[in-house]
């Protein structure tokens, strides 16, 4: 195996024996093969799209397949193999629709096929399917940056599609991007494709924002309970708000409470969910604490998307673990996809909850969130006045991911040590590093404004663009905003590419720069966008306060 897609990759170089995330070699190899098959589908799918005949079913398959290769999503080899077999059928269908439009020598990914498990596993072990097949380090780096960005875009596109929101240009781009990695493109062409990924990341997050807010209302400033009640409960984690809605509907009147975990915390901010009095609040913190928090919760856990980590041997919650959507785990019970026009069936989860003790309390109190773009823009006059008066000297965007490495304490320390006239704008699970700190407010404006999930980083971009307009500035970089971004997985890379496309410069990225950036590619990003690694806490704060 060779995997360097996440921030915690071994020695910041790449995992070659077993993933730091816990991913076994065979699982990693099968995921690489699934991407390989998606490239083959895209060779034909791109040709159809050029003819104005996009195959949406093929595009949806590619989205789900890419999503399932994001870190901490798919752990069951049998499920991945079944998806590879399904990929062959999708590819055959698209190829048949292409007819004679595709001719000449085709890449192996467009023609290779196998039926039995052994042949699939053997192919998954071959070097030719991995990113390392490209011997040129810069080519490998640009292709990986593109594919990783596409994984994040695919995940957001899948979230939106669940709510009935789709865009052909997003689907078409994903297949164009994958197909491009089978060609010998120039460096400029590859960089252009990466920047186009940034544009599509913006478009996809905007689409998902539209899907979420149209369906569930605009997030509102909300105090979220972090304590527990005495009823049995269900803990729901991940990002899928449709799953959240259907779980709340089906648990109503059952005597079973519902709590969010991790990236599902922002569900507490949506008006549509507040009508359920058995929706208690949030339990615990970010994804990497789940071994302890899932254990102490006592009730069933529903994983709707990433991030699911391996269960420690001394933990006993596997029989309470339910997966759904693209998530899978050996031994966990899986909730099947909703039928056409229907709902998912959470009855097994509810029945299991009724046999469990109530959650063990691990903390108490409240945290505040719900500062998505609509809510912040409603406070625009107040915010602008505070900036003009000098009450707010600077905004610091600290969005992104949380992770296990001790060096991530940097983000907590930055939050603790920022001057009292600064406001933190956040989204994603990175907020768990500081969202329970008592940092106070500035004239009634909380010093931590949580916009929501990682995809809600789009809200932070909208806020910045509106502030630029309000202050009559020509360049977004003239705003008193600094970017101190934490990353872990592939959705965060899509967010980073989105910020670059919007012209944001001077982003600090940490706790390390991505291992998949070659020296030359990293140099291009530094030269064009002034991207830099995080440094010392005091040193970085001093630089940010000067706008550096």
pLDDT at 452: 95
Residues present in the chain in total = 548
Q: Where are the domains of the chain?
A: 10-215, 222-353, 370-545
What's the mean pLDDT when you consider all of the chain? 96
Fold of the domain spanning 10-215: Substrate Binding Domain Of Dnak; Chain:A; Domain 2 (1.20.1270)
**Tokens, residue 535:** 């440094």
Pick the CATH number of 222-353 from 3.40.1050.10, 3.40.50.2030, 1.10.287.110, 3.30.70.260: 3.40.50.2030
pLDDT, tens only, 202-246? 999 999 999 999 999 999 999 999 999 999 999 999 999 999 999
Query: Which whole number is the average pLDDT over 5-14?
Result: 96
Report CA 292 to chain centroid distance, whole Å. 23
Identify whether the C-beta of residue 424 lies closer than 8 Å to the C-beta of residue 418: yes
* C-beta atoms surrounding 56 within 10 Å: 12
pLDDT at 202: 96
Whether residue 103 has pLDDT greater than 90: no
CA pair distance 510, 289, nearest whole angstrom: 20
Q: Where are the alpha helices (DSSP H) in 185-225?
A: 187-216
pTM for the whole structure: 0.96
- Do 222-353 and 10-215 fall under one CATH topology? no
Of the candidates 369, 514, 344, the residue with the CA atom closest to the CA atom of residue 453:
369
pLDDT at 100: 82
Residue 310 per-residue DSSP state: P
pLDDT, tens only, 400-459? 999 999 999 999 999 999 999 999 999 999 999 999 999 999 999 999 999 999 989 999
Indicate the CATH number for domain 370-545.
3.40.50.2030
pLDDT, tens only, 237-291? 999 999 999 999 999 999 999 999 999 999 999 999 999 999 999 999 999 999 9
pLDDT band at 102 (very low <50, low <70, confident <90, very high): confident
**Tokens, residue 198:** 């940034």
pLDDT band at 485 (very low <50, low <70, confident <90, very high): very high
List CB contacts of 28: < 8 A, sequence separation 6 or more: 1, 3, 15, 19
Own/partner pairs, 284-290, CB within 8 angstroms, 24+ separation: 284/362, 285/402, 285/432, 286/262, 286/402, 286/429, 286/432, 287/72, 287/237, 287/262, 287/263, 287/402, 287/429, 288/402, 288/403, 288/404, 290/237, 290/261, 290/262
Whether residue 115 has pLDDT greater than 90: no
From 43-57, 98-112, 169-183, 209-223, the region with the lowest mean pLDDT? 98-112
* C-beta atoms surrounding 100 within 10 Å: 5
Cis amide prior to 344 (ω within 30 degrees):
no
pLDDT at 16: 95
pLDDT at 96: 94
Whether residue 139 has pLDDT greater than 90: yes
């Amino acid at each position: 195996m060779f995997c360097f897609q996440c921030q915690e990759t071994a020695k910041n170089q790449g995992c070659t024996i077993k993933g730091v995330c816990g991913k076994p070699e065979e699982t990693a190899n099968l995921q690489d093969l699934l991407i390989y098959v998606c490239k083959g589908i895209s060779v034909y799918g791109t040709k159809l799209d050029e003819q104005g005949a996009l195959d949406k079913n093929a595009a949806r398959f590619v989205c789900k397949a890419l999503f399932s290769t994001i870190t901490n999503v798919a752990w069951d080899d049998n499920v991945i193999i079944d998806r590879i077999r399904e990929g062959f059928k999708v590819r055959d269908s698209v190829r048949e629709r292409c007819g004679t439009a595709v001719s000449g020598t085709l890449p192996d990914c467009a023609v290779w096929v196998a039926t039995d498990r052994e042949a699939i596993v053997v192919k998954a072990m071959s070097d030719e399917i991995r990113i390392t097949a490209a011997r040129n380090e810069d080519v490998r780096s640009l292709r990986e940056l593109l594919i990783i960005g596409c994984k994040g875009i695919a995940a957001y596109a899948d979230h939106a599609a669940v709510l009935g929101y789709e865009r052909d240009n997003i689907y078409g781009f994903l297949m164009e991007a994958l197909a491009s990695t089978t060609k010998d493109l120039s460096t400029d062409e590859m960089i252009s494709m990466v920047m186009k990924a940034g544009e599509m990341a913006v478009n996809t997050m905007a689409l998902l924002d539209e899907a979420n807010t149209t369906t569930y209302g605009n997030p509102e400033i909300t105090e979220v309970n972090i304590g527990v009640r005495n009823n049995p409960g269900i803990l729901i984690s991940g990002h899928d708000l449709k799953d959240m809605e259907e779980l709340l509907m089906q648990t109503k009147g059952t005597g079973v409470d519902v709590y969010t975990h991790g990236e599902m915390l922002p569900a507490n901010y949506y008006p549509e969910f507040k009508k359920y009095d058995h929706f208690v609040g949030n339990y615990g913190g970010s994804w990497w604490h789940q071994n302890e928090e899932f254990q102490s919760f006592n009730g069933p856990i529903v994983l709707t998307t990433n991030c699911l980590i391996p269960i420690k041997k001394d933990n006993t919650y596997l029989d309470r673990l339910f997966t759904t959507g693209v998530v899978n785990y050996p031994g966990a019970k899986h909730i099947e996809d909703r039928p056409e026009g229907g709902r998912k069936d959470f009855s097994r989860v509810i029945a299991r909850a009724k046999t469990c003790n109530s959650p063990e309390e691990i903390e108490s109190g409240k945290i505040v969130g719900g500062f998505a773009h609509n809510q912040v823009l409603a406070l625009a006059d107040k915010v602008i006045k505070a900036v003009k008066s000098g009450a707010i000297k600077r905004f610091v965007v600290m969005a992104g991911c949380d992770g296990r490495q001790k060096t991530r304490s940097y983000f907590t320390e930055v939050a603790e040590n920022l001057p009292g006239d600064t406001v933190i704008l956040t989204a994603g699970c990175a907020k768990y590093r500081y969202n329970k700190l008592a940092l106070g407010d500035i004239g009634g404006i909380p010093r931590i404004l949580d916009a929501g999930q990682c995809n809600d980083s789009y809200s932070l971009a909208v806020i910045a663009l509106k502030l630029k307009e309000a202050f009559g500035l020509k360049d977004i970089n003239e705003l008193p905003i600094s970017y101190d971004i934490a990353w872990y997985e592939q959705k965060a890379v899509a967010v980073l590419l989105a910020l670059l496309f919007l012209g944001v410069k001077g982003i600090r990225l940490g706790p390390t720069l991505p291992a998949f950036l070659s020296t030359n590619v990293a140099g291009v990003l530094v030269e064009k966008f002034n991207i830099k690694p995080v440094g010392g806490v005091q040193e970085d704060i001093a630089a940010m306060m000067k706008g550096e």
